[in-house]
Amino acid sequence: MLGLHYYSNIVGLRLESIEEDDEVYSLDQIKEFEEVSRAWKEALAEHLLQEEDESQIFVKFFKFHKCYDLIPTSAKLVVFDTQLLVKKAFFALVYNGVRAAPLWDSKRQQFVGMLTITDFIKILQMYYTSPSVTMEELEEHKLDTWRNVLKNQVMPLVSISPDASLFDAIRTLIHNRIHRLPVIDPDTGNVLYILTHKRILRFLFLYINDLPKPSYMNKTLSELKIGTYDNIETAIEDTSIILALKKFVERRVSALPIIDPEGRLVDIYAKFDVINLAAEKTYNNLDVSLKKANEHRNEWFEGVHKCKLEETLQTIMERIVRAEVHRLVVVDEEDKVIGIISLSDLLLYLVLRPCGEDSTGVEGIGSSLRQQDVSLHHQASSDTTATIPEEDAGTLSEGDSAPPSPTTATIQLDSGGPAWREVTVSGGE
């Protein structure tokens, strides 16, 4: 079952696919994945044991499974109409605890892109530095207006079929430097699910203890050279929000480790933390410090999670999956920041590297897998070049033509109606 939360300025929405006796799951019933049987795990493990090249174990695992395997039996999917007011859209992101949502163009009857935190950051940065437009005007803009403002930055909507392999999904995520990949039914045009690095790695961990264990899992970060260790972009507690936004956009980073005067890790400011500005309507003053901003974090703050070069890949993977975070900050014995290891770094090493697609073979990734001795690290600086992969290209994108969705039918605009409408429906299993 799919719980669809459709946000729109449109009233009189008619859902043809809904029946009166359709069941809708409550949020506490939502499951990420179906329970995997012991027999199935053992059969898969036996199949992979026949692989002589241990570097191909995880490659074959992800080629064996399809995107459909990650679609939950019950889930919540938030969709925004492009005519929705900007402020309503980001309030809805906060309310639902999600970082992005597909955009539905009701006029064209197709999905045309994704709304992400990166879009919010770019617009905030644009309007805060423009004295001719007040932030109050920004609130009354529609998402479609934003798309026009950012038209020079839009990219084609990147999606994948449910029948594609998870290997293809990983390759698509990393090659396109995106965090979220909509799974779209090619027959109906419906978005079935949103794949992420985090969900893919978590899916692997359903099987990890039953699969053959490659020897490199017991090697350390220092030996494997996974992650980024040159010129790590950082901030200090007095760094302003507007400067942090500038770093996010211009340096293409997804998080800023916050350090003290000695370079020790004290906190972190991630792109998702910016959503608090929308939640509390505090974006009229972006000159406040990150220390002040972090006092108003919401319940979805991931926390500051770190690791050291001497820890094994197995330990690192378990920590990042159990903590449900997007990255770990690599620190030395004095807790000084020396690097970053992200989910995409891990998947790149586990899946694409064995196929000959390392950091030099993936366009736009840069040098996330360093070839130098990472123990000879460079001092992190708040003024250095950014190297934490931002991977959020393709936001607010113009999509290629997609089949119309059967979910929506006759609709009409009513300026006197509610600002948005939320509909929860049951859909494809």
* DSSP string computed for 297-328: --TT-----EE-TTSBHHHHHHHHHHTT-SEE
Query: Nearest to residue 332, comparing CAs of 377, 286, 284, 279?
Result: 377
> Cα–Cα distance between 405 and 415 in angstroms, integer?
24
Alpha carbon distance 13, 422 (integer Å)? 10
| 295 contacts: CB under 8 Å, gap ≥ 6 | none
* Model confidence, pTM: 0.75
The model's confidence at residue 5, banded by pLDDT at 50, 70 and 90, is low
Query: What pLDDT, on a 0 to 100 scale, did the predictor assign at position 419?
Result: 31
Nearest C-alpha neighbor of 275 from the set 296, 306, 251: 296
**Beta-bridge partners for 113:** 103
Cβ–Cβ under 8 Å, residues 356 and 348: no
Q: What is the mean pLDDT of residues 33-59?
A: 72
- pLDDT of 34 reads 55
Of residues 22, 19, 13, the one with CA closest to residue 81: 13
C-alpha span between 12 and 336 (Å, rounded): 57
Nearest to 138 by CA among 151, 125, 153: 125
Arithmetic mean of pLDDT, 10-19: 40
Q: Is the predicted pLDDT of residue 71 greater than 80, yes or no?
A: yes
The per-residue pLDDT for 110 is 87
Q: How confident is the model at residue 298 (pLDDT cuts 50, 70, 90)?
A: low
* Interval 214-237: pLDDT, tens: 999 999 999 999 999 998 999 999
pLDDT in tens, 140-196: 788 888 888 777 766 778 999 999 999 999 999 999 989 999 999 999 888 999 999
Secondary structure class of 10 (helix, strand, coil): strand
What is the number of other CB atoms lying within 10 angstroms of the CB of residue 113?
26
Specify the DSSP element, H or E, that contains 194. strand 191-196
Q: Are strands 75-81 and 2-7 parallel, antiparallel or unpaired?
A: parallel
CA separation for the pair 162, 165 (Å, rounded)? 8
Looking at residues 311-318, what average pLDDT do you find?
Answer: 96
> What does each C-alpha distance from 151 to 120, 130, 145 come to in angstroms?
14, 18, 10
Q: Residue 378: is its pLDDT beyond 70?
A: no
Q: Amino acid letter at 123?
A: I
- Residue 348 to residue 357: CA distance in whole angstroms: 8
Give me the residue label for tokens 């995106």: 178
**Residue from 356, 362, 361, 320 nearest 341 by CA:** 320
d(CA 114, CA 101): 6
Domains identified in the chain and CATH numbers: 36-207 (3.10.580.10), 216-356 (3.10.580.10)
Q: Is the pLDDT of residue 201 over 90?
A: yes
How far apart, in whole angstroms, are the C-alpha atoms of residue 112 and residue 107? Answer: 11
Residue 388: closest CA among 423, 339, 425, 352:
339
Average pLDDT over residues 110-129: 84
For residues 142 and 75, what is the distance between their CA atoms, to the nearest angstrom?
Answer: 27
